[in-house]
A and B are shown apart, each in its own frame.
Chain A
Amino acid sequence: MNKPKIALYWCASCGGCEEAQVDLAEKILDLVNLVDIVFWPVAMDYKLEDVEKLPDGSITASLINGGIRLSEHEYVVKLLRKKSKLVVAYGACSAWGGVPGLANLYSREEILKYVYHEAPTVENPQKIQPQLKIKAEEGATLELPEVFPRLLPLDLVVDVDYYIPGCPPTPDVTWKAIETLLSGNLPAKGSVLGALDKSLCYDCPLNETKPEKVLIKDIKRPHEVIADPSKCLLTQGLMCLGPVTRGGCGALCIKAAMPCTGCFGPLNEVMDYGGKAASYFASIIDYSDEEEIKKVLGKILDPMGIFYRYSLPASRLRGKITVMRR
């Protein structure tokens, strides 16, 4: 019998998702026994032409990580959509834009100008900037993919069947999700695979030390305190986003005495993770006077980076409106 076919692809991402897949360690061998991997640029030598030659719908599932930022990403994910029965957004960037999605606060022109001309580490006296097409001296035409005006999560470009959360998804979550995908017993379309439907606090070993009602007088950034690893980090003034973040990672950061930054994303009913997270966090500031409130919240130097760290392109407004409008 033919084994199910799986494709793995990367778009605008950091490579951490591939790391996580490789971190399946010896389970990778189980995986290779169960499926044929037909495309995996980081580890295998199949080319895009090989995918183009496959019959439509012949790949059981394509796991795609990274946000869509280049015309090349768009081409490949549309191709994989056509060739696959299931398309899965793997990791935070693919699901909601991720850290690279914070670039939606700036226009493409601002980004290119900074990266190629202004960044302190850049020396570019000839003012070279990549072009879409150039004629090389030898006569050949060279092309580069286009940078899109903004980054989009996968589901704004192609139809997505499932989501696997995390930055990156842990090997455990990845394996659980793959088992579900191969089981034939598929959950409702749009479901999040491999994680919990409850918040991280539910799964957190420090939850029993968290009082019924948390109120804080001051916000502490991680470098400002040595956290007591046996006490709910939120009660110590650290900005733990556990209460509004999907559980399933096994409280990895908390176990290292670091507050959760929200990489498993929103729970099912939330429509804007950043809005929800900001709402929850502001409401526990223990002052009623506007100036005091402002002062404490002022310790959050970069609210967009904190609350939308993984999800700006999936937010209601998708990014800075002057960037979004065009």
Chain B
Amino acid sequence: MNQNFEPKIIAFLCNWCSYAALDLAGTSRMKYPPNFLVVRVMCSGRVDPQFVLEAFRRGADGVLVAGCHPGDCHYIEGNIKTLRRMTLLKRMLEEFGIEKERFRLEWISAAEADKFVKVANEMFEQIKALGPLKLKEVNTHE
């Protein structure tokens, strides 16, 4: 494992639950790795699988998508659509050769700061162990 490797992890967090959980973790002075670049979205249903692919393409070592628990989505079933989409996307990422630890879908409510911290720590450790994805420069012809 390369000790100097600092993974870059993109986190798409829904405004109403998971982003609020991250906020709560911060105001409660809980510690989590600083490697998460957060993109706040109104609902996890806004996260098109294309965003995940684009994140990996642009150099992310991991991607987290998190939203409200099923039944709690502020747009009724945005997160259920996300569940369907990401279930299929996971299979495709595997075929692209992206290890399954690099992508996670989680339900994290506004009160679950501890769950956010747990997920963040786990992802950080796992991805650090895997090493960098090195996908930035796939566009050029060798």
**Chain A: residues with CB nearer than 8 A to chain B?**
74, 105, 149, 152, 156-157, 270-272, 274-276, 278-279, 281-283, 285, 287-288, 290, 293-294, 297, 300, 303-304, 307, 315-326
Q: Which of B12-20, B33-41, B86-94, B116-124 is found at the contact surface with chain A?
A: B86-94
Alpha-carbon distance A324/B140, docked complex (angstroms)? 10
The residue that B83 contacts in the complex, of A105, A288, A303, A326, with Cβ under 8 A, is A288
Q: List 14 A-B contacts (CB under 8 A).
A: A152-B141, A275-B92, A276-B49, A278-B85, A279-B50, A282-B87, A282-B88, A287-B84, A303-B95, A304-B92, A316-B50, A317-B96, A317-B135, A321-B133
The residue that B56 contacts in the complex, of A149, A303, A317, A322, with Cβ under 8 A, is A317
Shortest CB-to-CB span from A219 to chain B, Å, is 11
Tell me the nearest residue of chain A to B54, going by C-beta. A316
Alpha-carbon distance A308/B84, docked complex (angstroms)? 18
Query: A322 touching B97 by the CB < 8 A rule?
Result: yes
Within 8 A of A (CB), among B32-91: 48-50, 52-54, 56-57, 70, 77, 80-81, 83-85, 87-89, 91
- Report the count of interface residues on B (CB-CB < 8 A): 32
Query: A321 touching B87 by the CB < 8 A rule?
Result: no
Alpha-carbon distance A324/B135, docked complex (angstroms)? 8
Known: A105-B95, A156-B139, A322-B97. A315 touches B87 (CB 8 A): no
Tell me the nearest residue of chain B to A274, going by C-beta. B92
Alpha-carbon distance A283/B84, docked complex (angstroms)? 6
Alpha-carbon distance A157/B141, docked complex (angstroms)? 7
Query: B92 touching A272 by the CB < 8 A rule?
Result: no
For B91, what are the chain A residues with a Cβ–Cβ distance below 8 Å? 297, 303
For chain A, what secondary structure do more than half of its interface residues adopt (helix, strand, loop), or is it mixed? helix
A105, A149, A288, A319, most chain B CB atoms within 10 A: A288
Shortest CB-to-CB span from B49 to chain A, Å, is 4
- In the assembled complex, B98 has its CB within 8 A of some CB on chain A: yes
Query: B88 touching A303 by the CB < 8 A rule?
Result: yes
Tell me the nearest residue of chain B to A320, going by C-beta. B97
Query: B53 touching A316 by the CB < 8 A rule?
Result: yes
Tell me the nearest residue of chain B to A288, going by C-beta. B80
Alpha-carbon distance A304/B134, docked complex (angstroms)? 22
For B77, what are the chain A residues with a Cβ–Cβ distance below 8 Å? 288
Alpha-carbon distance A317/B55, docked complex (angstroms)? 10
Alpha-carbon distance A320/B138, docked complex (angstroms)? 11
For B97, what are the chain A residues with a Cβ–Cβ distance below 8 Å? 320-323
For B89, what are the chain A residues with a Cβ–Cβ distance below 8 Å? 275, 278-279, 282
Shortest CB-to-CB span from B83 to chain A, Å, is 6
Query: A315 touching B53 by the CB < 8 A rule?
Result: yes
Query: A321 touching B53 by the CB < 8 A rule?
Result: no
